[in-house]
Structure 1
Amino acid sequence: MSTATAGTPTDTDTDTALVRAAQTGDVAALALLLEQHRAGMRAVALSILGPGPDADDAIQDAVLVALRRIGDVRDPAAAGAWLRMIVRNQCRGQLRDAQRLVPLDELASHRDSAPGPDELLENHAMQDWLWEAIEQLSPALRLTLVLRHFSEHVTAYDQIARVCGVPAGTVRSRLNQARAKLAAALAATAEAAHSDARTRTAASWDEAHDTLATAEAGEFGRVVAQRWSPDVALMYGGSRLGGSALITRAMDCDLAAGVRQRPVKVIAGRSLAVWEMDITSPPDNPEHCPPTAAWVMDLDGGRVARLRLFHPRPLAESVMEQRLAA
């Protein structure tokens, strides 16, 4: 028998109200929902992983999933069970393979057929809140967190380590710091006005398409000169290989060889953008390039200040040296 009196809201009534508000873009409602169920989420993590940093990581990852997946909730009164399910999935993923990451975009939701994350984020303002919090992180922590949780092909520790030019252990340490600081930043920015991440992402998609089209028209150097920093640096790991001349020459050489790129995913913040590309090599040289690449770009005032080109399936070192020397 229920102990609630007539007219007194129950916990499920509160969850329903908070979920519905969050689905319309009320970030404070989602923050309150997460806080109300944090104890239950932690209990699940501890029961599977035991006390320690792994349980803390699972909870923080679950918060990110919930933030991006709140639009999936069909039964708002069952929000607590939904949040605990996300934690359980995170914990089981850690137990299956500590080195394997399931990107947030691929996490199974409780829908039989859920729309993709981009479609979900079109429906509410949660990405503005998330990006505002991410922008509070240091550049090193921001890059590590974004690659780990938002990219499609640059998610493993060893891949992120190669992009950043640091040991894999440093990546793990940075992720731990980033998760803790992100949780604090989410709480601090819940009431703040946020920039329009959707508009910024759409603009970055347009820029990626326009950059490639202009390059194919033989004017990539003009794009670099007009839109990128005069001191732009091409990075390989933690080392600077050269500037705009090398970047332009590498692109022109690939195009002359018949290589084409097509953007398949764009991640856009105020200070960091990632363009993930599918690559088509020429028919007479199908091994000319790996099939995918990521343009990881540090931004300064909206202009590219540093570019890291990363191939999830890297070229042999000798081939890379030959291409850069061409």
Structure 2
Amino acid sequence: MPLSGRVSDLGPFDLLLSVARLGSVGAAARAHGISQPSASARLSGLERRLGIALLQRSSRGSRLTPEGALVADWARAAVEAAAALDTGLVSLRRSGGDRLPVAASLTVAEYLVPRWLALLRSAAPDTSVLLTAGNSDDVAAAVLAGDAQLGFVEGPDLPGGLQARTVARDVLTVVVAPGHPWARRRSGITAHELAATPLVAREPGSGTRRHLEQALARQAGACPLPPLLELSSTTAIKAAVREGVAPAVLSSLAVGDETSSGALVRVPVTDLDLSRSLRLVHLAGRPLTGPARALASIAGRRGPGPLPRGG
């Protein structure tokens, strides 16, 4: 079945995802190498094509409407698939060189892997990286199946057959909209209050969700209530929290811009340690070689200490 005209051009959707990630049309325009008026025109054209208001524009910048967050969530997989297709086509045109399939959980793929790949390109310019993003379970399955030579996960558990090592540290953060009652709780909340509150959360299989559930069970003996809303991307979760749907627990890497601007408020949990390790995984008993070894070295270059926000 041929694609409809609404979705046949993925470029504007890619631009919309950049607005969601960077927080403004101007920043997205710079990331795409186009002018701000051109970016605004493309986004306005997308809104006309879909018949939906995707952005709420103000003097302080642009943010996604609830409908825009859903569109961005749906479009992400298609844009990533198109990017993978383009990368594959480019690699087929090259004479020689190496192809490196990599899988990464969404947080790592969005906030850490781009920097690592830029460094790898300098070290191994003939290497074509085929990056697949998913939740931690998806990444582990891809490496075990041989679809990825190495992967990056944020989940606390791994199936047998994989070897892992820590490449970065992260801290999960409770975030709420500025108008939420927790935003005024300077002393924070307890683990039991968090467990008793339905959240906006990722889908089952997400490393972030599993780490939170295990931390609550291990440290507080608490079982969290089922999520109020499940979404498959961090961008959509942040949009739902900003609209006041419910609190969420997300990577500190993912919410730095929003908490700095005041769009979201961090809420401390007084009796819960939400720090975690981000790990590189590959098949046990099969040492990494070539570009895979180079990427592993780059990812671990800063050691296991905390990384700066956004990279």
Q: TM-score, normalised by structure 1?
A: 0.28
Q: TM-score, normalised by structure 2?
A: 0.29
Q: Name the structure where helix makes up a greater proportion of residues.
A: 1
Structure label with greater radius of gyration: 1
Q: Name the structure where strand makes up a greater proportion of residues.
A: 2
